[in-house]
Structure 1
Amino acid sequence: MRFNPSDIPKIAITGSVGKTTTREMLGSILDVKWKVLKNSENKNLPLQNKAALNNYNSSYKAILLEMGMGQPGAAKRHCKIIEPNIAIITKIGRAHYGNLGNSIESTAKNKSELIKYMHPTGTLLINADDENSRLLETDKFKGEIVTIGIANKADYQASEVEFLEDGMGFKVGENSFFVPTFGVHNVYNALFAIATAHRLKFSMDEIRKGLENYQVPTKRLNFHFLKENSILIDDTVNANPESVKTAIDVLAEKGKGRKKIVVLGSMKELGDYETRGHMEVGQYLVQNNVDFIFTYGKEAELIGVGAIEKGFPKDRVRHFDNKTKLHKELCVAIEKESIILVKGSSKMRMYQTIRYIKDYLQYTLCIDDNLRGPYIKMNTYTFESLGVESKYINLHFGALVKKLEVHIDPKAENGTITLPKQLNETISIPDVTYEYHMEGNHLHLGPLIGIITLPRYFDNPRQQILRFTNYDNIKGLIFICKLTTIKRKRQTIDGLYYNPKTNDFEQGVFPYPNAFYNRVGLKKASYTHLKEHIGAAIFNYPYENTDKWSFHKMMIKKHDISPHLPHTMNYSNSKSLIEMLRDFPSVYIKPSTTAGGYGIIHVEKNEKHFVVTDSAGNRQVVSSQNSLIQKLKGQMDKGRKYIIQQDIPFRFEGSKVDFRMYIQKNELKDWIYTGLETKVANEGSIISNSKNRKTVLPGKEALTQIFCLSEEEATKKIEEISALFIKVLNVLERKSHIGDSAIDFIIDENHKVWILEVQLNYAAEIKAFRSETEQKVLPYILPTPLEYAKSLTGF
C-alpha cells in the first residue's frame, strides 16, 4: 500500500546531477521552521526511501526525498511507495547513461516517469537553462510548472552571480542570497530550493537564513586547506561528464594564480558515451588551463588522450592503474600554493586519494621503541591541526583498538605524530611501511592483511615469497599464519610477516587483521568467529573442491551460461550411464567433489564393445553392458557421489587438451583475467593433471598454435572467455565471498568453450617447483589477491 500522509508537502528530487545538494539546501531552509523527514547520504533507492518513511509521525511537516533513477522503472517503484505532490528535476545529463538506453532522449523519458506518477495536479520544477530538460514529457501534466534559471527567462531567475571568498553570491529579483559553497551549478541547486520554499510560503528572510546555514555534504566540492597555502578540493562522491566539468569550473575560478592539478578517476555507467565522455573532459581541461592531469582507471586514460589531442603537453599527463603509484607521483607534483581537484565515480574510491593527500602531506607518522605507555606524542600545532576534541586518540591497528593519551612535546616537529612500538604485552608494531588516516579522534594504521595457509607453506614461508612482488603497491603488515596459530581466546595470531627490507619473513604476534585471504579448509565455527571480529573482509570461504553436480544444477538455469556446459547427469545407477552412452560415443565418470583427476573413469562405446580407462591410464575392453557395470563397480568408491559427463572429443596430436583460466579480483573489487594456461596430456591419458601431462603452454600461445588463431583473434577469444567466466563467478558469489579462482574448461574444434568446474583451492605456490612453462603464470596470479584484500581493508 502506498504511504501517503495528506495535507503535507511530499517533495521528490531527481535528475542527473545536483540531487543531494538540492535536497540539503532545501532541507536547510525548511528546517528554519519545520520538522522535515528526509533520506540521508546517498540512500536514494526505492527500498531505502521506504525504510526512511518508516520513521514518519505526525510531528513532521514535510517529507523530502531524493529519488535515484539510475535504472529503468525506478520512478514508478518510488511513486508506488509515496506519491509526491512537488517534484524537482534538476537536469538531464549523462549520469547512468548506459543504464538508461544510451541516449539523452531515453534518459529524459526515464526521468519523465516521475511526472507521470507524481500527483497529477502537483507542482513540477524544472531548469529553463537546460536544453535537455525540454525533452521531458510535460504535455499531459495538469499541475503547475515552475522554472528556474540564470541565462534564460524563468519564474525564479538568478542575476549578479559571483564567486565570493567563501561561497556564491547572487540575486533573485531584488533579493540577495549567499550559499556557502562554490560553483555556478550550485546556484541552480539553490534556485530550486528557493523556488520550492517560496511556493511553500517561506519568507525571503527565512529562505536566506536557511541557505546561509546550509552544510555542504561530504565529498561534494569540500575545500581542505593544506600547509604551504595549498587547497584540496574533494568532489569524490561520483562523476559523470557534466559534474566533472562543473568541478573543473570551480577549480579554474578558485585556482587563479595557483598550480592547478586534477586527479580524475574513471566515469562509470556511460555506456556508448564512454569514449566520447572521457575525451570531452580532457578537452575541457585544456580550455581551463590546468597544469597537470593525473588519471586513474582503464577508462580514465581517455581523458589524457583527449587533452593531448587538444595540444596539452604529454609530459604533464600521468595515467595509473594502481593508486599507490598515483599517490607517489602526486607527492612530487604538489608544491606551494597548489590547488588539487580529485573526482571520479564512486566505484573508483577516489576518496582514498583525498585521505592520502590530507594525511600524508600534512602529517608524518613515526614509531618509537623508546616511547613507553599508552601515549601518542606531537606538538601543539599538530594537535590543533588535527582538530581532535579530546586528549585521547584511538589507534586502530587491525581489529585492535588502543586508546592513547596525547602528550604534547614542544620539541616535536610540526606535523610529526609519534606512536609507541609496543601496544600491549604481546603485540608490537613491526617496522614496515604503513598507510594511515585520521577520522575524528581515530587514527587508522595499516593495512593489516592475513593469509591463512597450509602448514607446509607456513613451515617453509619462502614458498610464498612471489605473492609479495607487488608489496610496494599494497604496503602495510601482511602476514601468513595457519589455523593452529590463530588464538581465538586472546584474539591474536602468531604468524610470519613479510619484511620488504630483507625480502623475507619474521616472526610476530598480531591482532586480527583488517582482511583475511583464506587458503585452507576453514571450519564453519572458525569462519563464523573470524567474521564476527573482522566482518565480511574474509574471502575464499568455503575453500573446498567444487561439487560438480551442484555447480551444474546452478549454472544450467542461466541462459547465457548453460550453452557452455557439457551434458551432465547425476550417476544414480547404471541406467543413467547406459542412457548417456546412447547419446554420446564417450563419457567421463567423475567423483563429484574431488580434484586433480582423482577417481575419473573414461568410457568409450564402440560398435561391439566398451573401452574403460582409469585415471592411471589402465585400459580395458569389455564386451557387454553387464561386464561394463561390473567393471565400474570394482573401480568406483562406495558411498562417493559421481556424475556422468559428455566427453568433448578434441585431441591435439593424440593428446587431450585442457585449459585453466585465472580470474581474480583487483584493487577496484572487479573480476579481472590474470592468466591462462593450456595443459597437454600425455598421449592416451584421459586427464591432464601434473602426473599425466606432457607440457603446459601459455594460453595465448596454444590458441595460436593448436587452434591456428591470429594474435588478434586469440586476444578476442580470451576476452570472450573471461567475460563468460565472470558471469559464472557472479552467480557463485551469491552464496559465498570469492576473490580468487581458477576455471577449468575445454575448447573444441569449432572453438566453442565448455566449462568444467571452478576451483578455489587450485595449485598455486606449488607451481614454483614444477616446469618453467608452468611457472610463467605465477607473477600474475600470486600477488593479485593481496590487492583485493587491501581493497577490503578501507586503506
Structure 2
Amino acid sequence: MRLNAKQIAACTGGQFLVEAIDPSALMTGVTWDSREMQPGWLYVALPGERVDGHDFVEAALRAGAAGALVMQSPGRAACLLAREMGAAVIEVANTASAVTDLARAWRGYLRGRVIALTGSVGKTTTKNLVRDVCAAYGSVVATRGNQNNELGVPRTLLAADPETAVVVVEMGMRGSGQIAELCDFVRPDWGLVTNVGESHIELLGSRENIARAKAELYAALPAGRGRAFLNLDGAYLDVLMEAGGLRERPMLLSGFAGNPDEDLREMLERDGTVCEEVVWAEDVALDGEGRARFALCARDHADHEEEALLAPVERCRCALTLTGAHNVDNAVAAASVGFALGLDLETIAAALGASVPEPGRQEVIAARGGFTIVNDAYNASPDSMRASLSTFAATEVAGRRIAVLGDMGELGDFAEACHRGVGAHAAALSLDRLVCVGALSSFIAEGARDAGMDAARISRAATVADVLEELDTLLEPGDAVLVKASHFMGLTRVVEGLVR
C-alpha cells in the first residue's frame, strides 16, 4: 500500500480528527495490532469482545504509526500525541469495513496478476506452494498464515505494491455468498479450487452446496482473460463448472490431477470444453519419512484441437519435503499455476521441493525424550484427518505410533457420523494407540472399536492435562505421536507440553 492520508480519508469516507503534518506522505502498510506496528504504517482500531483497538492508538503512534483509523475519538492525549508526531487520525463509520474500502481502492493500482484460491482441505498448504512456485516467476505477495477472512484478504492486497508480479490470495468461507463478497473487491484474474470436502457442512447442508459456494470464485473471474484451475480428479467437477459459469463464458482452463487423457476426452465429447494445459503426477511413492516422490507431468493443449490430446508429455522428477500422498494433489495444483505462467517443469519441481510446512501443519518435531511429534493440531476436517492418519501410518517409526485426536468443528448433524468414520479409518491403519480428546471424539473411539480396533489400545481424555499425564507414562524413545484436532480444541498445548 502506498496511500497518503487524504487518499485514505477519501477511500473510506472518513473525517479528519487530526490532519497529517505532511498530507502527501505515503503510508506503506496496515495493521490492527499495535505490537507489530512499523514506522509509516496505518493503524486500524478494531473493536473487539475482549479488547478495544481504540485503547492502543497511543501505543501505535509511539511505535511509528503515520495514521490511525478510528470509529470514535481516541481521547485528548492520543490526539495531542498525533499532532506532536505529525500523524493523521481519521474517523470512519466502521473500521473493519474501511479496511475493505482501502483494499478495493488499492486493487486498482495493482498491475500484477491476482490469483485467488479456495477449497475445503489444503488451502493454506496449496497457497504456500503456489507462493513458492510464483516466486520463481517474479515478486510475489501471498496471504500470511491462514488470514483468509474478511480482514486477512484485504490485508493481503494492501501488502502488495503496484510492481508486484503475482498476488496470491487465500479465501476461506463458512457459508454461501462469502467468497463472492471477497471476490467483489479482490477481482481475481485467476482462480483455483483445490477440492470439495465436508468442511462447513453444518451451515451449507450438503457437499453439492459447498461446491456451489466454492464456485463463486470461478463465477467472479473475468470473461476472456480469466483462467480457472480445475481439479480433474475432484468431486463435483460438473457442479463447479456449472455454478461457476465456465461453460457459458469464454475462459482459459487449466487442469490438474486426474487421468488427463480420459478426463479431457470425456469433457470434449460432452460439451466441447477442453483444458488448455493439464498437470498431473505419476509414479507416486512415499519415502520412509512419508515424503512424496513422483514424476511431475504436463501437457500443453493451447491450440484447443482434439489432436492436441496427443501432444508430447513433459516430465521431470519431483521430491517434496511435505509429508503425505495428499500433498501431491496440492503440489500439482501449484504446479499448474507455474505452468500457466510459463515456467518450465524443472523450475517448478525445484520450488515445490523447497517448500516447507507451516507450524502446526504436519510439522515434525524431535522431542528431548527421544520420541517424535507430528504437530498437525492447527485444524482438522474429516478429509484432512483421514489423510493425516494415513500419512502417519505410512511413516517408518522405530517404536510405536500413537495418535492423539480431538474434536472436529462445524459438522452439525453430520458430526457423529464423521467422527465415527475417522475412527473406522484409524482402526484400519497400523496404529498402536489411539487417544481421543473431547466430547465428539468419543465417537472416534466408538468408531474405531466398532471397526475392530482392540479396546485396550483406545483411551479417552477429557482435558489436555489428562492427555499429557497419559503420554508421560506411555511414550518411550523411538515412539511417534500424531496430534490433530480442530483449532478450537487447543491441542497445540499438547505439543507444547511434550516439547518441554
CA shift, 1:298, in A, is 0.8
Query: Do 2:407 and 2:486's aligned partners in 1 also have CA atoms closer than 8 Å?
Result: yes
TM-score, scaled to structure 1: 0.44
Alignment of 1:189-268 (within 5 A): 189-227=330-368, 229-255=370-396, 258-268=399-409
**CA distance 1:4–1:258, shift in 2 (3 Å):** farther
Which of 1 and 2 has greater Rg? Answer: 1
Residue 81 of structure 1 is matched in structure 2 by: 185
Residue 422 of structure 2 is matched in structure 1 by: 281
Aligned residue identity for 1:345: S
Residue 160 of structure 1 is matched in structure 2 by: 283
Residue 145 of structure 1 is matched in structure 2 by: 253
1:35 matches 2:123? no
- 2:200 aligned to which of 96, 100, 105: 96
Residue 295 of structure 2 is matched in structure 1 by: 171
Matches of 1:130 and 1:279, distance apart in 2: 24
Residue 669 of structure 1 is matched in structure 2 by: none
Query: Do 2:191 and 2:227's aligned partners in 1 also have CA atoms closer than 8 Å?
Result: yes
**CA distance 1:307–1:152, shift in 2 (3 Å):** farther
- Per-residue CA deviations over 1:534-553 (Å, capped at 9, x if unaligned) read xxxxxxxxxxxxxxxxxxxx
CA shift, 1:7, in A, is 4.9
Residue 59 of structure 1 is matched in structure 2 by: 163
Query: Do 1:108 and 1:132's aligned partners in 2 also have CA atoms closer than 8 Å?
Result: yes
Alignment of 1:488-567 (within 5 A): none
SS at match of 2:378: coil
Query: Do 1:224 and 1:231's aligned partners in 2 also have CA atoms closer than 8 Å?
Result: yes
| Stretches of 4+ aligned residues off by more than 6 angstroms | none
SS at match of 2:323: coil
Query: Do 1:255 and 1:339's aligned partners in 2 also have CA atoms closer than 8 Å?
Result: no
Aligned residue identity for 1:109: R
Query: Do 2:110 and 2:162's aligned partners in 1 also have CA atoms closer than 8 Å?
Result: no
Between Structure 1 and Structure 2, the one with more helix by share is: 2
TM-score, scaled to structure 2: 0.68
- Is the deviation greater in 66-75 or in 13-22? 66-75
Task: Report how many aligned residue pairs link the two structures.
Answer: 358
Aligned residue identity for 2:480: I
Residue 22 of structure 1 is matched in structure 2 by: 126
Query: Do 2:116 and 2:188's aligned partners in 1 also have CA atoms closer than 8 Å?
Result: yes
Matches of 1:131 and 1:182, distance apart in 2: 23
Aligned residue identity for 2:250: K
Matches of 2:386 and 2:259, distance apart in 1: 18
CA shift, 1:165, in A, is 4.8
Query: Do 1:116 and 1:141's aligned partners in 2 also have CA atoms closer than 8 Å?
Result: no
Matches of 2:476 and 2:110, distance apart in 1: 58
In structure 2, list runs of 5 or more residues that go unmatched. Answer: 1-100, 264-277, 298-314
- Per-residue CA deviations over 1:407-447 (Å, capped at 9, x if unaligned) read xxxxxxxxxxxxxxxxxxxxxxxxxxxxxxxxxxxxxxxxx
Residue 353 of structure 1 is matched in structure 2 by: 494
- Per-residue CA deviations over 1:458-513 (Å, capped at 9, x if unaligned) read xxxxxxxxxxxxxxxxxxxxxxxxxxxxxxxxxxxxxxxxxxxxxxxxxxxxxxxx
Query: Do 2:393 and 2:430's aligned partners in 1 also have CA atoms closer than 8 Å?
Result: yes
SS at match of 1:294: strand
Matches of 2:252 and 2:137, distance apart in 1: 25
SS at match of 2:468: helix
1:180 matches 2:321? yes
Query: Do 2:324 and 2:391's aligned partners in 1 also have CA atoms closer than 8 Å?
Result: yes
Matches of 1:107 and 1:298, distance apart in 2: 26
- Per-residue CA deviations over 1:745-779 (Å, capped at 9, x if unaligned) read xxxxxxxxxxxxxxxxxxxxxxxxxxxxxxxxxxx
Aligned residue identity for 1:71: G
Matches of 1:132 and 1:247, distance apart in 2: 23
- Per-residue CA deviations over 1:512-566 (Å, capped at 9, x if unaligned) read xxxxxxxxxxxxxxxxxxxxxxxxxxxxxxxxxxxxxxxxxxxxxxxxxxxxxxx
1:323 matches 2:464? yes
- Per-residue CA deviations over 1:365-386 (Å, capped at 9, x if unaligned) read xxxxxxxxxxxxxxxxxxxxxx
RMSD (Å) for aligned C-alpha atoms: 1.8
- Per-residue CA deviations over 1:704-741 (Å, capped at 9, x if unaligned) read xxxxxxxxxxxxxxxxxxxxxxxxxxxxxxxxxxxxxx
Query: Do 2:397 and 2:478's aligned partners in 1 also have CA atoms closer than 8 Å?
Result: no
Matches of 2:432 and 2:249, distance apart in 1: 48
Aligned residue identity for 2:342: K
SS at match of 2:280: strand
SS at match of 2:164: coil
Between Structure 1 and Structure 2, the one with more strand by share is: 1
- 1:269 aligned to which of 399, 410, 435: 410
Query: Do 2:111 and 2:164's aligned partners in 1 also have CA atoms closer than 8 Å?
Result: no
Bigger RCO (CA 8 Å, 6+ sep):
2
